[in-house]
Structure 1
Amino acid sequence: MNSARIAAATALSFAAFSAAAAGAAGKEGVSFSHNDWELACDNTRTCRAAGYQVESGSALEPVSMLITRHAGPGTPIEIDLQTGGQEEPKGSVRFKVGKATLSGLKDGAASLDQGQIRTVLPELLKGDDATVTDSGGHKWVLSLAGLNAVLLKMDEVQGRVGTPGALVRRGSKPESSVLPPVQAPVVNAVLPTKARPGDDALAARIFPSLKSDPSADDCNNHDEFNAKSLNVSRLTDRKVLLSFGCGMGAYNYTSLLWIANDKPPYAPVAIEANGDFDEKSASVTSSMKGRGIGDCWSSQTWHFDGKGFVLSGHTYDGMCRGFPGGAWSLQRYVSQVKLSEPSATPSKP
C-alpha cells in the first residue's frame, strides 16, 4: 500500500472510530466545539473545556488551557495551563489576558488557585487571546476564539444558565435549580478463567460459523481472514473470545471480536468492543490517533461482566494541536470498575 493510500486509510479509520464515538457520546455525554475550543461533558455531568493556539498552519507553538467543572450548585471551576513545542519555558512564567496578569508561575504547566481564577476569568471571557511568556521573552499565544460559546454550552449541560453561578449568562434563578451530579455507573467486571487444553484448536472449529468475508469497510486485510488468523481467549468455563486483527493504516489498529460457545452449537456473536483483550483486567481497549504524532486521540474501553463486554470508559480529544499524546484526557464516559475472580459455578451456555 503506497503512502497516500496509507494516509487515507488512517484518516478514514480514525474518522469512522470518531463518528462512532460521537454517536456513543450522544447517549453518554455531550461533545461540542467552536473555533479553537472544545467541550466534553461525561455521563456524570462533569465538563471539561480545552482551548489551544490558533489552528495549525501558523508559526505559533502549542499552548492549551483546560477548564474543568463538576456538576452541582455552587461548584467552583478549575483551570490548568500548559505549553508545548520545542521550547521549554525558562525561569518564571507570566500569564497575561486583558488587564489581568499572573506572574511567578513555576513552569509551562500550572494549576491556578481560586484567587488566580477569580482574577483571570472575567478577562478570559472578553478577550481575543492570552499569552504565556517566560523570562527569556519566549511567548505562547492562547486563542480565546470559541471560549464563550463552549462555556455557555457547559452551563447548559449543567443547568446553570440564568443562575448566579453561570459562567456566561448569569441571572437570578436559584442556585438550587442547578442539576446535580450523576453517580458513575458500577461495572462488575469478572476475570476470565484459565485457558484449557485444546483451546487453540477452537479457532478451526468455530471459524466456519463466522462471517465468511469481512468487508473492506471493516478490514483492509479481509483477504487474510481465515482460521489461522483468529486468536482464542478463554472467558468462562463455556465461553471464549475470538479476535481477528485488522490492518487499518499506518498507525491505527482495529479488530473484530466474537463471543462463542466452546462446544457446538458455537453460535458466535459479534460484539461492539474493539481492540486488544487484556486478561489481567478483563478488558478490551481500542485507542486511535488522528495523525502520526499522536496529538489527538480517541479511546474506548469495555470490561467483561461475565456475560458480555460493557462500555466502561471513553475519551476523545478531537483537536490536533501539537501535543504528542494529547494535551488533556477529555472524558466522555466514566464508570467505577469492580474486578472479581471468576465464579466457581459453571456459567450457562
Structure 2
Amino acid sequence: MILRSLRRGGAALALAVAIPVVPLAALAADPAAVSFSHKDWALQCDNTRACSAVGYQAESGDSEPVSMRLTRAAGPDTAVQIDLQVYSEKASPGALQFTAGRFRLSGLDGNSPQVPAAQVPRLLQELLRSEEAIVTAGKDRWVLSLAGTNAVLLKMDEVQGRLNTPGALVRKGTQPESAVPPAVPAPVVKSVKPVPARKADAPLAGPLLAAVGRAGLDGQCNGGPPDASDVKVHRLTDRKLLLEVPCGMGAYNFSSILFMANDRPPHQPRLLDDVDGEFDPATGEVRSAMKGRGIGDCWWMRTWRFDGKGFVLTGEQGDNMCRGFPGGAWQLPVYVTR
C-alpha cells in the first residue's frame, strides 16, 4: 500500500497542507542547488530556490515506512504544501488519522487530502516542538520521526531568504516580507529533434568503436571491452552521430557512455563528459537513473536534451534517504529548466 499526494487508485491517499506565507530579502541572483540533512530529515533546494524538506521514520526504529514532504516555492507570499505518504504490505486502509503533539486530523482519505487553512499554523507548531508524529489506520500504526525537523526547516528559511520575517517557518521576526527574494527563473533550454536514422548508420558501430579505441574507453568501462554488437548508433544531424556504449555494470545499476562522431572518416569520436544513460531518438533526450541500493528505495535521475550542437542538462532530481519505500518515496527537484 502506497499513499501519494493527490493520487487515487489502489493504495493512494495523501495529506496536502496549504500554508500561506509571505515575502523576504535578496540573495544570490543565480543560486546553486542546496542539499542538507540532519537526523531523519533532509532538505533539497533547486536552482530556482524552490525547496523540498522530507522526513521519514527513524532509521533505528521498527515503524513501517512513512514520510512527510514540505514543499515551498521561492519568493514572497508563497504557500507551503505538505504531503504524507505511508507504505505497508497490507491492504489499503479506508482512512488515516494523523497526530502530532496536540494536533489531530482524522478521516484523511482521497476525498479530503487538504488540511483546512485555519488548522495549518497549529500543525506547523506541533511539528517543530514534537519528537514524533503518529499515523494510524485501524490497527495499523506508523511513527514519523521529527528529529531534525527544526534544523532542516531553518535551513529552508535561510536558503529562501526568510530568516527573521513573519513568513519564516522557524526563526520568525519583524523584517518586512517584501525583502524575500523572488524565485530565480528556470533556464530555457533549446531542444532540437534528431533527424531520422539511415540504413547505413547501424553498420557504423564497428568502425566508430574502433575509432574510439581501447584508450578511449580506458578508465570508463569495467569488465572487458564492449562488443560492437552491443553498441547503438543514433543519428543526430545530417553529419553527426551519437555512439551509445554500454560501459558500467554494478550490482544493481547499469550505465552507458556517449560519444559524438562524424558519420564519415575521420569519425573523430568525442566523449560527452558528464552525460551518461540511454538515448531516446524520438525526443533527443538522454536519461540516467541510478538507485542507491538494491531494493530501489532511493533514486537519482538526470536528463539531457540535444540542442543541435551537444547535450544540455535539463533536469536532475532524487532523494538520498533510503528508508524502505519501494521505488522511492519522492523525487526532489535539484535542477529544473524550461
Write the mapping of 1:152-301 to structure 2, written as runs, cut at 5 A: 152-213=154-215, 218-221=220-223, 223-271=224-272, 272-301=274-303
In structure 2, the CA distance between the partners of 1:275 and 1:101, relative to structure 1 (3 Å rule), is same
TM-superposed CA distance for 1:103, in Å, is: 1.4
Which of 308, 314, 317 in structure 2 is aligned with 1:315?
Answer: 317
SS at match of 1:193: coil
Amino acid across the alignment from 1:295: D
**In 2, are the aligned partners of 1:159 and 1:178 still within 8 Å (CA)?**
yes
* Root mean square deviation of aligned Cα: 2.1
Checking the alignment, whether the CA contact within 8 Å between 1:82 and 1:109 is kept in structure 2 is no
> CA 1:111/1:216 → structure 2, altered by over 3 Å: closer, same or farther?
farther
Identical columns (%): 53
Counterpart secondary structure, 1:39? strand
Q: Name the CA shift for 1:53/1:217 in 2 (closer, same or farther; >3 Å).
A: farther
CA deviations 1:226-254 (Å, max 9, x no partner) are 44442110000010000111242232111
Does residue 1:48 correspond to 2:49, yes or no?
no
Distance in 1 (CA, whole Å) between partners of 2:260 and 2:118 is: 54
TM-score, normalisation: structure 2: 0.86
Which whole-Å deviations, capped at 9, do the CAs of 1:299-340 have from their partners, x for residues lacking one?
00000011101000101100111111111120101111xxxx
Deviation for aligned residue 1:106: 1.6
2:106 pairs with 1:100: no
Amino acid at match of 2:267: Y
Stretches of structure 1 that go unaligned for 5 or more consecutive residues are: 1-25, 337-349
Letter in 2 for 1:133: T
Which has more helix, going by share of residues?
1
Query: How far off is 1:35 after superposition?
Result: 0.7
Q: Which residue pairs with 1:33 in the alignment?
A: 37
Q: Quote how far apart the aligned CAs of 1:27 are.
A: 7.0
CA separation of 1:104 and 1:283: change in aligned 2, threshold 3 A: same
1:284 touches 1:303 (CA, 8 Å); kept in 2?
yes
Closer/same/farther in 2, CA of residues 228 and 137 from structure 1, 3 Å limit:
closer
Could you tell which deviates more after superposition, 202-211 or 119-128?
202-211
Aligned partner letter, 1:185: P
Q: Is the 8 A contact 2:31 2:49 kept in 1?
A: no
Give the match's secondary structure for 1:224.
coil
Name the TM-score, length of structure 1 as normaliser: 0.83
CA contact (8 A) 1:80 1:109 kept: no
Give the 3-state SS of the residue equivalent to 1:273 in structure 2. Answer: strand
Structure 2 SS opposite 1:40: strand
Letter in 1 for 2:186: A
Question: Which secondary structure does the structure 2 equivalent of 1:102 belong to?
Answer: strand
- Tell me: CA distance 1:246–1:326, structure 2 relative to 1, closer, same or farther (3 Å): same
Task: Flag as ranges the 4+ runs of structure 1 deviating above 6 A.
Answer: none
Q: 1:247 to 1:270 in 2, by over 3 A?
A: closer
